[in-house]
Structure 1
Amino acid sequence: MKSESPCTYTISLIESHNAPSTGGACDTAEQGGSSSRTGNASFLQSAFWADFKAAHGWKPLSVSLCLKDGQTGAESPFKISVLLRSFKRFFTLAYIPMGPELPLVQNEPPVLYNKVLADTARALKPLLPRNSLCVRMDVPLDFYSLEERGAFVHSISKPLVKAPSDIQPPDTNILDLTLSEDEISANMKSKWRYNINLASKRGVVVEKAGEEGIDIFYDLYLQTAKRDGIAVHAKNYYRDLLLRSGRDGVQITMYIAKHEGEALAAIIVLFSGSEAVYLYGASSNNKRNLMSAYLLQWTAIKDAKKAGCTTYDFYGIPPTDDENHPMHGLYRFKTGFGGKNIHRPGSIDLPLSPLYSFFRAAEKLRGFYHKRIKKIRVKKRNS
């Protein structure tokens, strides 16, 4: 990043809507139309995702802002999708999933970037319910080492604070689909290529499904949740996601691996613009030696490349190759396909209420239970 310089950037509000809409320039007269995505924004910033979350307890808010450099006069309009979640009318969480995108200041010093980030969150305050606790942001900055990510997180200072828990996984592995299929295969660990071929030779077949496969997926997902100690939504949540496939240019595909008619594993993958994202995965406790999960991923990866996607996001891994981490197996499985590890800052908050400190303390306790106590119980049960 550049050497530190005085902040000359200002944020101004253009307009806001209760439903997603597009933006054009720093002028309301040029606003209009509709789009599922803006630039290279994540699917989490799409109209598709806002509409989906609106059906499951969140209220979407689409906001058009303008970032201006007072020194050069450069203006950068941008839009953010904000999701509001009320908790029994006592308080509200304002959440910006994988946003905001601030390309104009992305290469500025962290202190300046964080000031613009805070100003962006502050600009939302007049639009939010009076009982809002904070604005929570999943900052879309990609770092390729833990040291770089750590330095940025260390630079966070008031009024911003690092959230006690992350909503989206801050660490992930992303596969480059601009390579040829042979190059992607060659970059895998040799054991992964072997397992893909093994599954195929032993009669594992992969079928595509939509909403009609929800019972198979959910049964497998409940087995996975019990085995690994993960949380699951109600079946209708995944059913609704599948039913929305095709809207706003977003495709949701379920892949089911079967052997002799028995469902062994299933995954749900999102295809949106240039990105494919492995959202959910589930597997049976039976016939795990057939390596069906490897063939599932390879099938989805090839489909993503055919669909014109340039990246395949495995969407969540532990930060390091730590054998003591409860999800170490997940790290090995996903990274074995040859992608690049990405480390993001995770969730960052701008507190808006004196009650935020109590909310923060409660989140820490909840996180400790799910990451430590619950995982230990699952490990003991499975041992």
Structure 2
Amino acid sequence: MGMKFVTHIDKKRFTTFNENHPNGHALQSIEWGDFKSIGEWTMELVGLEDGHHTLVASAMLLRRKLPGLRRYILYAPRGYVLDYSDINLLQTFTKNMKEYAKKTKAIFVKMDPCIIYKERTIDGDVMDDGIDNSKLIEDIKHMGYHHKGTHLDFEGIQPRFVFKLDVDKDKEALFKSFHHKTRYNIRLGEKKGIEIYEGSIHDLNEFERIMRVTGARDGFITRPLTYFKNMYTSMEPTGKMKVFMARYNVKKALDKAIMDLDKEETSKKPNEDRIKKLKKEIPKLQTLALEHQDGIVVSGAIILLNGKKAWYLYGASDNIYRNLMPNYLLQWHMIKYSMDCGCTLYDFRGISGNLDPNHHLYGLYRFKKGFNGHFVEYIGEFDLVVSKFFYHLWEFWVPRMKRMIRKIKK
């Protein structure tokens, strides 16, 4: 018996396959599909069975209608869940996918798999004897896919460069593996009164506020509150998504300052500069503690989980109290949480492939590099072209029309 392409897969069966496959992903989960379906997308589940009716490939497809046309686009976020080293399997799935797309009036199918392009060192240098999937890119192109290129920044839907951390080890050993400055910043946050707590749907109001602050500071467009609330209601009940918040506990910081002052003043060799600094700091903390008895939220993050993997999806931080290093402590808390959930991989997600220290995204790379993980470059985005005419229209004419409309409006 040969392979059989299947649609309308049982959700439990689909989830089990996605969670246990090496190429399974949170963005391929049914919960992510449910979340995206609240907007302009609809979700479809397809797969490939072998002769024993066992799933060997699957895809959670998002379908979107093109405006003014009875045509659609299909997107498999983070690619199909299958073994990409098995070219025959990929070819068979692609052939069936193209037929399915054509039958359902889709003009192309987009995928962006988490498959390494060229293996790199933590400093971003290509390893001479490392993994090189250049041939795989050519093989995929020969199957009818258009490769969207190997850009360095965030040009695609999903980041092509990410930073990953293996967490299948002892927590203490993992912490010791971090860069000494990262360890220092984590401890600093704890010492200065930063606390991490799991947020509820109500905390998303504050998360979205500081996300807007972050967007204004770093120059990117942010999502509305409804986006995060829809994500929470779709994904949190099954444990696929969590929100964590960092709060500055001013009362705790005040108590620590008072204790430190007493310790210095009763010391055999008191540090006068330290005493002077603490005496100046304590009155400010006393005033702040009265004004903010519940603490001050300074940053937040959203984490996704699927099987034994975790992804840092969104992060936001206020402009105040950044010197207390809340983001370092927040990351360490989420890493430990993912380990407690049985995860063996923590994905920091996007970084730039441009490692020029003057590049505006270099700080993001430097922050994640401090956790001593892996600098990863993926093979990129591919469009399986079904209708050359409509695909050309989508790729060439639609962007030109949008640019013209923007110029007219200006």
Q: TM-score, normalised by structure 2?
A: 0.74
Match of 2:197 among 207, 210, 234: 207
Judge which range, 277-286 or 248-257, deviates more.
248-257
CA separation of 1:339 and 1:120: change in aligned 2, threshold 3 A: farther
Residue 313 (structure 1) shift: 0.8
- The question of 1:99 aligning with 2:79 is answered yes
Q: With CA pairs under 8 Å and 6+ residues apart, which has the higher RCO, 1 or 2?
A: 2
Pick from 98, 110, 115 the counterpart of residue 141 of structure 1. Answer: 115
Mapped contact 1:276–1:313 kept (Cα < 8 A):
yes
Maintained 8 Å contact 1:149/1:344: no
Tell me if 1:328 matches 2:362.
Answer: yes
Which runs of no fewer than 5 residues in structure 2 stay unpaired? 121-125, 150-154, 251-294, 404-410
Structure 1 runs not aligned, ≥5 long = 1-9, 24-32, 369-383
1:233 aligns with 2:233: no
Q: Secondary structure at the match of 2:73?
A: strand
Q: State which of 80, 94, 98 in structure 2 corresponds to 1:122.
A: 98
Aligned residue among 132, 141, 160 for 1:157: 141
More displaced 10-residue stretch of structure 1: 257-266 or 279-288: 257-266
Partner of 1:136, secondary structure, is strand
Structure 1 residue identity aligned to 2:7: S
Does structure 1 retain, via aligned residues, the 8 Å contact 2:19–2:308?
Answer: no
Describe how 1:144-293 pairs up with structure 2 within 5 A: 144-145=119-120, 148-149=132-133, 152-153=136-137, 156-158=140-142, 159-163=144-148, 165-260=155-250, 261-293=295-327
Aligned length: 339
Residue aligning to 1:303 = 337
CA contact (8 A) 2:311 2:347 kept: yes
Q: Give 1:163 shift.
A: 2.6
Aligned partners of 2:20 and 2:328: how far apart in 1?
A: 32
CA contact (8 A) 1:36 1:249 kept: no
C-alpha separation in 2, matches of 1:16 and 1:318 = 37
Describe the superposition over 1:238-297 as per-residue Cα deviations: whole angstroms up to 9, x where unpaired. Answer: 012223344445242332333532221111112332111111000111222111110110
Q: Secondary structure at the match of 1:37?
A: helix
Within 5 A, what are the aligned runs for 1:46-61?
Answer: 46-61=29-44
Match of 2:287 in 1: none
Between the aligned partners of 1:322 and 1:156, the Cα distance in structure 2 is 31
Alpha-carbon displacement from aligned partner over 1:69-88 (angstroms, at most 9, x marks no partner): xxxx9986322111001232
Flag the structure with higher strand content.
1
**Which amino acid is the alignment partner of residue 284 of structure 1?**
D
Question: Cα RMSD between the aligned structures?
Answer: 3.1
Cα displacement (A) at 1:301: 0.8
* 355-364 or 303-312, larger mean C-alpha shift: 355-364
SS at match of 2:158: coil
1:355 alignment counterpart? 390
Identity %: 26
Write the letter of the residue equivalent to 2:116: D
Q: Is the 8 A contact 2:196 2:244 kept in 1?
A: no
Q: Provide closer, same or farther for how the CA distance between residues 268 and 34 of structure 1 changes in structure 2, counting only shifts above 3 A.
A: closer
Report if the CA contact (8 A) 1:22-1:38 is conserved. no
Distance 1:323 1:67 in 2: 50
Give 2:66's aligned residue. Answer: 87
Letter in 2 for 1:221: M
Mapped partners of 1:284, 1:363: distance in 2: 37
For the structure 1 residues 142 and 352, does the alpha-carbon distance in structure 2 shift closer, same or farther, using more than 3 Å as the test?
Answer: same
Out of 59, 62, 67, the position equivalent to 2:45 is 62
Mapped partners of 1:167, 1:174: distance in 2: 19
Structure 1 contact 149–343 (Cα < 8 Å) conserved: no
User: For 2:245, what is the secondary structure of its paired residue?
Assistant: strand
CA distance in 1 between partners of 2:301 and 2:15 (Å): 30
Q: Which range is displaced more, 191-200 or 232-241?
A: 232-241
SS for the counterpart of 2:349 is coil
The separation in 2 between residues aligned to 1:67 and 1:344, in whole angstroms, is: 28
Query: Shift of residue 36 of structure 1?
Result: 8.3
Cα distance change on mapping 1:363 and 1:202 into 2, 3 Å:
farther
Q: 1:106 to 1:293 in 2, by over 3 A?
A: same
**2:310 corresponds to 1:319:** no
Distance 1:149 1:292, change over 3 A: farther
1:16 matched to 2:1? The reply is no
Residue type matched to 1:216 in 2? Answer: E
Please state how far the C-alpha of 1:135 moved relative to its aligned partner.
0.6
Q: Note the C-alpha offset of 1:96.
A: 0.8
Provide the TM-score with structure 1 as the length reference.
Answer: 0.78
Could you give the per-residue CA deviations for residues 217-252 of structure 1, whole angstroms, max 9, x where no partner exists?
A: 011000111111222222111012223344445242
CA contact (8 A) 2:20 2:307 kept: no
Question: Secondary structure of the residue that 1:314 maps to in structure 2?
Answer: strand
| Residues 289 and 211 of structure 1: CA distance in aligned 2, closer, same or farther (over 3 Å) | same
Larger radius of gyration: 2
